[in-house]
Structure 1
Amino acid sequence: MSFIYRRAAQMLSRCAKGGGIKEVLHEKEDPSIKKLYFILHKALEDLDILNQVYTEHLSKCCKNKFLGIVLLCVLVQRNKIDGGGKLKREILKRQKEILHLYNCLKEKEESNKQTNQRKKKQLAKYFIIHDQDRNSDALNELRGLLPVEEDEDVEGLYKIESDQLSTLITTPTYQQQSVRIIDKTSCLVVQAGNIKQGMVIVDVCSAPGSKAIFTLTLLKEKGYLVCIEKDKKRCFTLLQEIMKQNREFDGIYLDEEFSEENKLALTEGNFFAKNRETNVYYIKHRRSEMVIKVFNVDFFELSADHFSSLGKVDVVFVDPSCSSSGMPDFAHKESMRRVFLPGGEDSKGGLPPQVGDLPPEEPTPKDDFHDDVAEGRIPKVPPPFKHKVDRLAQFQKKILNHALATLQTANTFVYSTCSFFEEENEQVVESVLQSNPGVRLEKAGKDKFLFNRGKSVISSQCVRTFPELHACRGIFVSKLRRHP
């Protein structure tokens, strides 16, 4: 049997333990990353169906459920399985029955989808045009190829139907890197900061860069932006994305004097060189009125001294790690919770034992996550995620408090997450407000996005979006201001 299937099964196991697809894929370099992504994506897309097929046809002969689901996924997608082995032979004996059951279940699912689709508001796809003042023809060129609308809430943001995305990425305008796909929610976060030309902005937890890039469009080539990103790979991506944003950026430097001997050619070889200990990078605009400073460090290692040279800081964005329950792939996590029940690891494969060997799961609560989100209500945390969410909430309080303590010359702080859960949002903000008596909450956005049905007294000052109500991902945004 091909080794790639076992690798995909290990990755599926990591996803089941809470890892995101991209995070799991990029943990180690792998030349087969595109094939692995295809297998994982299709396995998660069809997880409930593949689980039913596995239970019916494979559960007795394949005790490694992750591997079984991967092999079934490959079979239904490619109509063959590479390599050899006993398990492959057992699957091929049942191939006709497996494909028949899969097709019946898939047909039923598609029928249900079409019925539900009529009720749902579809997520749109959003984009901005880099350097639009100099690139005035780009929008007209795109409109000549596909239907493009201006977003009604965010100036400079454009939207298309989701099924037009493949057309967009084949256009010359996109291929020339004049367009950046961005979610509307990132723009709503930046909008809360009321960014003006010439401001000084600090973006904590900056990668992958959507907030930073939209901030740069509002600064209009004049100001100072500090980005902080702990992870080395994500920092590399962040620098790449920023350099695409404006062709007037002069390059990346290793010192604030922008000396030519310290100019860095942004290649993987240069950036990840083992003998390079640099963790601060500078990007300068050719007219010297816009400077970007990127820290590749843990924010908790930075003190007030690191920001003293900035003088007054206008806005600080704090967008820490969260449960990502507002993201589309959280549905996959819910499916994995149903399919791969929590349990101990077996001694051979490091994978959970069979479902039948596990103790009964606690009763499913009456509250349904998906129904709550569809109707614009704050959902309760599903039981399997409670420990993770509690742990994240403690981290979120810590990082927001650290921002307030460290950036002492800043008055405005925008705290956001892509989570629906109150524990990561209102409860975090309430705790931080109690710890910082000189800080008050202000309205974080337009009235149409303010949430008036929350239990918390601060909800009505905070922005919340729901996919089926607002045609974008789920986001929470709050705005805190320091008062004398």
Structure 2
Amino acid sequence: MSTVKRPYQGEQKGPAVTESRLAVALMLADLRAGLLLDGAFERRTQPLDARDRRWVQELVWGMLRTRGRLDAILAERVRGGIAKIDVDLADLLRVGAYQLLNMGSVPPYAAIGQTVQLAKQRHGIGASKLANAVLRRIDRERDTIEPPVPADTLEALAQQHSHPRWVVQRWSERWGLEETRALLDANNAPANIVVRPYGVVREQLEAMLHGSGVETHDVPRVPDSLRLGSGVALTELGAFKQGALYVQDPAATLVVQYANIPEGSVVADLCAAPGSKALELTRRASLVLAADRNMARVDKMMQGFGRLDAEKLQVIVADALHPAITPVDVVLVDVPCTGTGTFRRHPDARWRLQVSDFAVLGALQKKILRAAATVVKPGGLLVYSTCSLELEENDDQIRSFLAEYPEFTLEAPSPGVVADDVLDNGCLRVLPHHHGFDGAFAARMRRAA
């Protein structure tokens, strides 16, 4: 089945499609083509103003967080089921239904009319009639609408919380139903914007933000970070333009704090993009080599570091599988992973994930970790981290590595470096439903002198 049919070329009647909704349709096509959500958003919303960008983000992220429930609602109202229609049209129905059911600021006539017009432009008159009938029925029934609850407990959880059933089963076997339900809830809560001061102390940054009318809040376990109030156009803030802050989820900050590198260290961050951990490392390091093998990601890192006038940073193009550097004091490998700890921030990831990814990424993680070990000085530190919750990508990788490389030993940081409740047998383990942050894992390993 094709992703997008040839646009309908007949007479166009009805309201013109807004730039915001056209951007949404193009973003969803990008996602189906394999682009990641953040990249698709940046690509398609560049011409929009800050208010429209926030609206697009609310709609697309919200639809993806509720897609399972929306599909159950649509399945009852599309003859033959939603799986039988074109995938692009299915996405248009999802965003139309989400506006009707979840976005009170959108008048029903706009949600329906705009979706119908998009369906007509992209698929023809028949698709527009289907969209019109389905969405008008949803609008009529919105006060009582509730999809049938599956008899299977895991299927019901998957539908209610909009996660693939196999993911729900996997987590319930590990944690049990109640804890899994809490994790699913956490994944569907919008992620906060949390910033770190750069070149200023926290109090100065807080004053700058308050001067711009931005509400700030303390962040548990990470005292220097500030959580921003909702609806902030971050890139429009003076503090952002002046390079006084960068965005970093507390889980990423905790990874660097857990690493607890010695003052004055030379550090190689071998999988550095997008670069916030490398920035955090400069607080104690004398030099950080921020490496990535992808030139586009390196360029983006350099732009970000340039805005901050970052010192003690050297950006290089390098493959973590073949790190062409001399041994250094500390090596950090934040390896590519399934990202199951970041489903709240990247809701597209839950629908993109496949069972086979664990084997493919696990093999890559193993190779990167062993390559990184070769450029750690005797007596130095090797820090492995992921944003995954999965044992295969975390504990199992460390257990296998330590068995194969006896010159390395797991070494927890000194007491008080990070909160006790994020430590687990010497490793860092951050869980969204326990700590309110993205999920993260890290292991700190010392090479024998």
- Provide TM-score, normalisation by structure 2: 0.69
User: 1:79 aligns to what SS in structure 2?
Assistant: helix
Q: Does 1:307 align with 2:326?
A: yes
Q: Percent identity?
A: 20
1:50-70 deviation line (CA, Å, top 9, x unaligned)? 312331222439733522322
Q: Does 1:397 align with 2:366?
A: yes
Instruction: Pick closer, same or farther for the CA change 1:75–1:7 going to 2, 3 Å.
Output: same
Matches within 5 A, 1:43-442: 43-60=63-80, 63-76=84-97, 77=99, 78-80=111-113, 81-82=117-118, 83=121, 84-101=124-141, 104-105=144-145, 125-132=193-200, 137-143=204-210, 145-154=213-222, 156-160=224-228, 163-164=229-230, 166=232, 171-219=237-285, 223-246=286-309, 285=311, 290=312, 292-303=313-324, 306-307=325-326, 313-329=328-344, 332=347, 336=351, 385-408=354-377, 411-442=380-411
Q: CA deviation at 1:404?
A: 0.5
1:30-51 deviation line (CA, Å, top 9, x unaligned)? 9789698676434313312431
| Conserved 8 A contact 1:327-1:418 | yes
Aligned residues: 368
Q: Does 1:449 align with 2:421?
A: yes
Letter in 2 for 1:157: S
1:246-268 deviation line (CA, Å, top 9, x unaligned)? 3xx5xxxxxxxxxxxxxxxxxxx
CA RMSD, aligned part only? 3.9
Whole-Å separation in 2 of the counterparts to 1:451 and 1:197: 22
Whole-Å separation in 2 of the counterparts to 1:67 and 1:427: 39
Whole-Å separation in 1 of the counterparts to 2:33 and 2:398: 31
Q: CA deviation at 1:9?
A: 5.3
Q: CA deviation at 1:463?
A: 1.1
1:463 matched to which residue of 2?
428
| Conserved 8 A contact 1:128-1:182 | yes
| Conserved 8 A contact 1:10-1:66 | no
- Provide TM-score, normalisation by structure 1: 0.65
Matches within 5 A, 1:12-51: 12-14=31-33, 20-23=36-39, 40-51=60-71
| Conserved 8 A contact 1:314-1:412 | yes
| Conserved 8 A contact 2:254-2:418 | no
Whole-Å separation in 2 of the counterparts to 1:335 and 1:476: 19
Q: CA deviation at 1:237?
A: 1.3
| Conserved 8 A contact 2:377-2:447 | no
**Bigger relative CO (Cα 8 Å, ≥ 6 apart):** 1
Instruction: Pick closer, same or farther for the CA change 1:24–1:450 going to 2, 3 Å.
Output: same
| Conserved 8 A contact 1:450-1:461 | no
User: 1:326 aligns to what SS in structure 2?
Assistant: helix
| Conserved 8 A contact 2:242-2:308 | no
Q: CA deviation at 1:86?
A: 1.7
Whole-Å separation in 1 of the counterparts to 2:59 and 2:230: 24
Letter in 1 for 2:440: I
User: 2:335 aligns to what SS in structure 1?
Assistant: coil
Whole-Å separation in 2 of the counterparts to 1:38 and 1:447: 33
Instruction: Pick closer, same or farther for the CA change 1:59–1:436 going to 2, 3 Å.
Output: farther
Whole-Å separation in 1 of the counterparts to 2:395 and 2:447: 18
